[in-house]
Structure 1
Amino acid sequence: MSLITGDEFSRLFRTFEHTAFRLEVRDRYDAPYENASLARFLAAEEDDLPWMRDWLYMIREATENGRRFSRVRVVSMPLTEYSRFGVWCAQFTNEAGEDIRYLQRERARAENLPDHDYWLFDSRLLISMHFDDADRFLGGELIEDPTTVVQHSYWRDAAWHHAIGRDEFAIG
C-alpha cells in the first residue's frame, strides 16, 4: 500500500471541485505543528494559532468560490483534553466557512460508523487516513473503488444526520 503525504496530500484540498468531508474518529492526534497551541490551551494561556492561518485562508477562499468543507468529529465523553482543544479551535474554522459537527462515540457505534478517519472529496475520491501507535499521521491511502466510495458516502451522510453543530455542542 502506498500512502500520499506532503504536497501530494495538500493538493487534494486545493483541487476538489465541490465538497471535502472529513470523518474524525480518534480521541487524540499528535500533530507537531499544533502541540504548542495545545499546551497553551491546557494552561489557559492566550494563543493566536499561527499554525492554523494557512488552513483558515484556504477554507475562506474555497468557500468564497462555492466549494464546501465539512467535518464530523466522533468524540468520547467526557471529552479528552485534545477534544476540548478541538472544540475550541473549531470556532475559528467554522468562522472561516468549514462546518464542523460533533457526534458522541456511543451514537457513532449505534449507527455502525467506521472506526477510521477519512477524507471524501466530491463524493468520488476517498482518502483513508493512516496513523501510527503514537497518533501521528503517516499518510493517506487513495481509494477510488466505487463500492468503497459509496459506502463511505453513506457513512458521511449517517454521521452528518446524527451530529450536532459545534456551537450547540460546545454549550451542551
Structure 2
Amino acid sequence: MSQSLTDFSDLIRSVQQSAVHLEMRDGYGVENEIEGFAAWKDGHRLDPEDRASWWRPWLDLVQEITAKGVLIRRARIISEPVSDYIAYEHSFTFTNIAAGEQIRWLPRRHASDLMLPGNDYWLFDGRLVQFNIFDGLGRWVHTDQTEDPAVAAQCEAAFEAVWERGVPHEKYAV
C-alpha cells in the first residue's frame, strides 16, 4: 500500500486514545531525512530555542493530536555502539518530546528474549497495525495494514515489553 503524508495525517488524527510506534532499524534512508542527516554529519544541530526550525509538519501534527489527550509513544530498539543515524536521531528527539511524544530507547542486547514483529510498525488504538516496510538500504517501500485482532494483540504485547525495558530519552546518552 502506498501512503502519502496526508493519508497518514488523516489516519493518526482519527486516533481516539493511543498511537504507539516501534522502530527497530539502526539506519533509515527515507527521502525527507537525507539532507538533515548530511547537515548533522557536517556539524549542524537543532537549536532548542528555535522551535520554528524544527521538523514540520510532523511536530505540529503530534502537538495537535496530543493536545486532544491522545497518548503517542515511540520505542526504538538500537544496537550499541549506536550508528551515526541513531546518534542523529537522538540529537533531535527533544523536538518530538516537546511536541508531546514519549520516547524510550532499548539497547538491542536487552531485547534478545522478546518476540518482535519483523518490521517497524504503528499501532493505533490497539486495533489497527500499520507495518512500515523498508528495503535493505532503509528506504521506505510500502505500508501494510491489518486489523486482525491477533496481530494487533501481538504488536501491543511486543511494544509494551520494549517500553517496559526501554530507557526514557532524557536518561539515555549516546
TM-score normalised according to structure 1 size: 0.91
Equivalent-residue separation in structure 2 for 1:11 and 1:50 (angstroms): 24
2:3 corresponds, among 2, 5, 8, to 5
2:80, 2:107 within 8 Å by CA — same for their partners in 1? Answer: yes
2:22, 2:74 within 8 Å by CA — same for their partners in 1? Answer: yes
Gap change, CA 1:46 and 1:153, over 3 Å in 2: closer
1:31, 1:137 within 8 Å by CA — same for their partners in 2? Answer: yes
List, as ranges, runs of 4+ consecutive aligned residues in structure 1 with deviation greater than 6 Å: none
2:161 is aligned with 1:165: no
Q: Cα offset for 1:51?
A: 7.1
**Larger helix share, 1 or 2:** 1
Q: Cα offset for 1:46?
A: 4.3
AA aligned opposite 2:16: E
Q: Cα offset for 1:71?
A: 0.5
Instruction: Map 1:29-68; keep pairs closer than 5 Å.
Output: 29-47=28-46, 52-68=55-71
Residue of structure 1 equivalent to 2:152: 149
2:100 is aligned with 1:108: no
Residue of structure 1 equivalent to 2:123: 120
Structure 1 residues 158-167 or 104-113, which shifts more?
104-113
Equivalent-residue separation in structure 1 for 2:28 and 2:41 (angstroms): 15
Residue of structure 2 equivalent to 1:15: 14
Q: How many residues align?
A: 169
Q: Cα offset for 1:76?
A: 0.3
Gap change, CA 1:50 and 1:4, over 3 Å in 2: farther
1:113, 1:159 within 8 Å by CA — same for their partners in 2? Answer: no
Structure 1: state its 5+ residue gaps. none
AA aligned opposite 2:18: T
Structure 1 residues 66-75 or 11-20, which shifts more?
11-20
Equivalent-residue separation in structure 1 for 2:98 and 2:7 (angstroms): 27
Q: String of CA shifts for 1:76-105, please: whole Å, max 9, x gaps.
A: 000000000111111111111101110011
What's the RMSD between the two structures over aligned residues? 1.7
Structure 2: state its 5+ residue gaps. none
TM-score normalised according to structure 2 size: 0.90
2:101 is aligned with 1:98: yes
Equivalent-residue separation in structure 1 for 2:45 and 2:158 (angstroms): 37
Gap change, CA 1:54 and 1:34, over 3 Å in 2: same
